[in-house]
């Protein structure tokens, strides 16, 4: 029998080796191929080997969780899984099936970069990459959402929302997720317009569970605030524990997801995407969604998870530092992401160095926004320094003691989720069905109508 903890350590070793190998290859200037490392840009073979190790490490964790889940099922027959575990199951199912695309890509790129195979099919590579690429950010988002649904209600002294709805959101996010990556290829050649149009629906489908989340969360806040004596239309807002960093950080994260999600809909829509494609707008978009929604939730988690794991306490002083950090981070990110959105709308491209294009007037009009971006970056580094200090302080120096692992309970008398929500076999089959619907057409088209393949190209 596999030992789940050992699998986690195996995963740690694989991921660390992979991480180091990838970083070294980039620093040696052998792998300047971006995060989106699809062909024809070719890196050193060791870069891809590092990625394989990284994925193997994640798979070890996946199998650990799957095994753990089946143990739990056997020991607790007829009971629905606890919410956080259900989320974790969703996260790792998504990790596993999303990473299959990139694994296939990387395994074809290794012989290509070594020169054993002369050419590779660029479009297939890109498509397999985005099979994974967008799901990856949704994996982070799902982790953040688990905290919003289960932890935040406890911190504000409320109860979590209807368990059935929460589990349904997880199931929908897992099933519908992978084809969402297609909107990254919305200006790619070789894909017919009607297929792109159908894919807009697939991408927008993810907005449905996200909107369910938004409504559910605000219902939880209002209920908790009113229970604490909040009056009037918005009086309950004042009753929320704004001074508690464990609440403040994820709350700002959730609010940031409103503009973040709206921007995402812009990116997914064919015509609107034409305006902002490959501009700084996109950079601004992921600074809001990832840099705020995900990262601030993760920061908020640290203030209870780290002391909890290290058997220490969160002090009032550390909480105050956390609040200050959250404010600095918020201001920094608003400056950074706001100016990037604006500059992007004016046409400022992403993935370039600073240039004025020979003092062209359009390029000069971007400069004020770029200054604001620089100011944001300074604030963000201050935020990073405080956060890293806080985490290591809580890990090693905070006073010893017990910290609560905050898990909200259901409303009194609320029914547990129906058992059909636990049918992971079926959810995985549906996920595969959706993937097949989304990817068979473009991939077959790229293979059957393939242009000449591309040799490895190194532009630097």
Partner 1 sequence: MKQAVYGLLLYGFLVLPPVAALLESIMIVHMHMQMPLLVLSGIFMARFFQIHFPRFFEKWNKNGVPGVLLFMVIWSYWMIPRMMDETLSVQAVEVFKFISLPFLAGVSLRDSWSKLGSSAQSMVFVFLTVVFLFMAWIYIGADKQICNNYLEVEQKTLGWGSLAFALIMIIYFLQLFYIDQSEYK
Partner 2 sequence: MEQARTEPIRQTSKKALGINQKDAKVSLSYLTVAFVSLLIGGILGLLQGLERSGLLELPTGVNGTWHFITRCFFHYFYDWLSVCCSFAFFRGPVV
- List all residues 6 or more positions away from 139 whose beta carbon is below 8 Å from its beta carbon: 91, 94, 95, 98
Give the Cβ contact number of residue 438 at 10 Å: 23
Nearer to partner 2, 207 or 310 (CB): 310
Closest CB 243 distance from partner 2, rounded Å = 24
Exposed/middle/buried for residue 63 (C-beta within 10 Å: 0-12, 13-18, 19+): middle
Convert 289-309 to b/e letters by CB count within 10 Å (16 or more is b): bebbbbbbbbbbbbbbbbbbe
* Residue 202 touching partner 2 (CB under 8 A): no
Identify residues 289-348 at the interface with partner 2 (CB under 8 A): 290, 294-295, 298, 301-302, 305-306, 308-311, 336
Q: Which DSSP string corresponds to 286-342? A: HHHIIIIIIHHHHHHHHHHHHHHHTTB---HHHHHHHHHHHHHHHHHHHHHHHHHHH
Site string for partner 1, 424-443 (x = CB under 8 A): -xx-xx--xx--xx--xx--
Picked from partner 1, partner 2, none, the partner binding residue 218 (CB below 5 to 8 A depending on kind) is: none
CB of 53 closer than 8 Å to CB of 14: yes
In the complex with partner 1, the residue whose CB is nearer, 220 or 438, is 438
User: Does the protein bind partner 1 through residue 271 (CB under 8 A)?
Assistant: no
Q: What is the DSSP string of 59-113?
A: HHHHHHHHHHHHHHHHHTTT-PPPHHHHHHHHHHHHHHHHHHHHHHHHHHHHHHH
**Whole-number minimum distance, CB 126 to partner 2, in Å?**
18
* Both tokens assigned to 157: 């002294």
Residues 18-57 as x/- pattern, contact with partner 1 by CB under 8 A:
----------------------------------------
**146 lines the binding site for partner 2 (CB under 8 A):** yes
Choose between 197 and 371: whose C-beta lies nearer to partner 1: 197
Within 10 angstroms of residue 77's Cβ, the number of other Cβ atoms is 6
- Choose between 407 and 436: whose C-beta lies nearer to partner 1: 436
Contact segment (CB under 8 A) with partner 1 among 47-55, 105-113, 195-203, 217-225 equals 195-203
Residue 78 structure tokens: 């007829």
Per CB under 8 A, the segment of 219-227, 247-255, 314-322, 385-393 that binds partner 2 is 385-393
Is residue 77 a contact point for partner 1 (CB under 8 A)?
yes
Figure out which of the listed residues 448, 452, 459, 460 binds partner 1, where binding follows CB under 8 A.
448
Residue closer to partner 1, measured from CB, 197 or 357: 197
List beta partners, residue 279.
349
Whether omega for the bond prior to residue 332 falls within 30 degrees of 0, making it cis, is no
| Residue 197 partner contact from partner 1, partner 2, none using kind-dependent CB cut-offs of 5 to 8 Å | partner 1
Shortest separation between residue 5's beta carbon and partner 2, angstroms: 6
Q: Are 289 and 260 in contact (CB under 8 A)?
A: yes
- Please give the distance of CA 160 from its chain centroid, rounded to a whole number: 23
- Residue 267, contacted partner among partner 1, partner 2, none, CB below 5-8 A by kind: none
Residues that bind partner 1 (CB under 8 A): 73, 77-78, 192, 194-195, 197-198, 419-420, 422-423, 425-426, 428-429, 432-433, 436-437, 440-441, 444-445, 448-449
């Amino acid at each position: 029998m596999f030992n789940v903890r050992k699998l986690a350590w195996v995963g740690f070793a694989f991921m660390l080796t992979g991480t180091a190998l990838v970083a070294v290859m980039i620093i040696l200037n052998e792998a300047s191929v971006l995060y989106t490392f699809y062909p024809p840009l070719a890196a050193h073979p060791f870069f891809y080997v590092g990625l394989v190790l990284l994925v193997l490490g994640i798979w070890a964790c996946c199998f650990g969780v799957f095994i753990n889940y089946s143990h739990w099922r056997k020991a607790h027959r007829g009971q629905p899984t606890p919410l956080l575990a259900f989320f974790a199951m969703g996260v790792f199912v998504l990790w596993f099936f999303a990473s299959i695309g990139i694994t296939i890509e990387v395994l074809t790129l290794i012989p290509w970069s070594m020169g054993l195979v002369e050419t590779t099919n660029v479009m297939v590579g890109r498509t397999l990459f985005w099979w994974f690429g967008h799901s990856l950010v949704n994996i982070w988002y799902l982790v953040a959402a688990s905290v919003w649904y289960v932890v935040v209600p406890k911190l504000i002294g409320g109860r979590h929302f209807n368990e059935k709805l929460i589990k349904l959101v997880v199931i929908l996010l897992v099933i519908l997720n992978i084809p969402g990556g297609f909107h990254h290829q919305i200006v790619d050649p070789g894909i017919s317009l009607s297929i792109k149009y159908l894919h807009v629906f697939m991408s927008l489908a993810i907005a449905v569970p996200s909107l369910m989340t938004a409504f559910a969360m605000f219902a939880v806040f209002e209920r908790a605030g009113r229970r604490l004596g909040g009056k009037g239309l918005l009086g309950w807002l004042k009753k929320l524990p704004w001074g508690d960093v464990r609440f403040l950080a994820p709350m700002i994260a959730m609010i940031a997801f409103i503009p973040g999600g709206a921007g995402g809909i812009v990116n997914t829509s064919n015509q609107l995407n034409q305006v902002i494609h490959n501009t700084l707008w996109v950079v601004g978009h992921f600074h809001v969604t990832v840099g705020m929604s995900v990262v601030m939730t993760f920061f908020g988690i640290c203030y209870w998870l780290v002391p909890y794991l290290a058997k220490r306490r969160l002090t009032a002083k550390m909480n105050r530092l956390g609040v200050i950090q959250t404010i600095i981070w918020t201001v920094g990110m608003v400056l950074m992401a706001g100016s990037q959105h604006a500059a992007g709308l004016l046409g400022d491209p992403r993935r370039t160095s600073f240039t004025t294009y020979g003092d062209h007037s359009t390029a000069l009009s971007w400069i004020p926004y770029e200054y604001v971006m620089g100011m944001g970056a300074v604030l963000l580094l201050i935020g990073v320094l405080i956060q890293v200090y806080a985490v290591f302080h809580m890990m090693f120096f905070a006073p010893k003691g017990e910290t609560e692992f905050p898990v909200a309970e259901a409303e009194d008398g609320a029914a547990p989720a129906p058992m059909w929500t636990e049918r992971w076999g079926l959810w995985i089959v549906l996920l595969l069905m959706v993937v097949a619907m989304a990817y068979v057409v473009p991939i077959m088209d790229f293979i059957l109508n393939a242009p000449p393949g591309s040799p490895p190209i190194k532009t630097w």
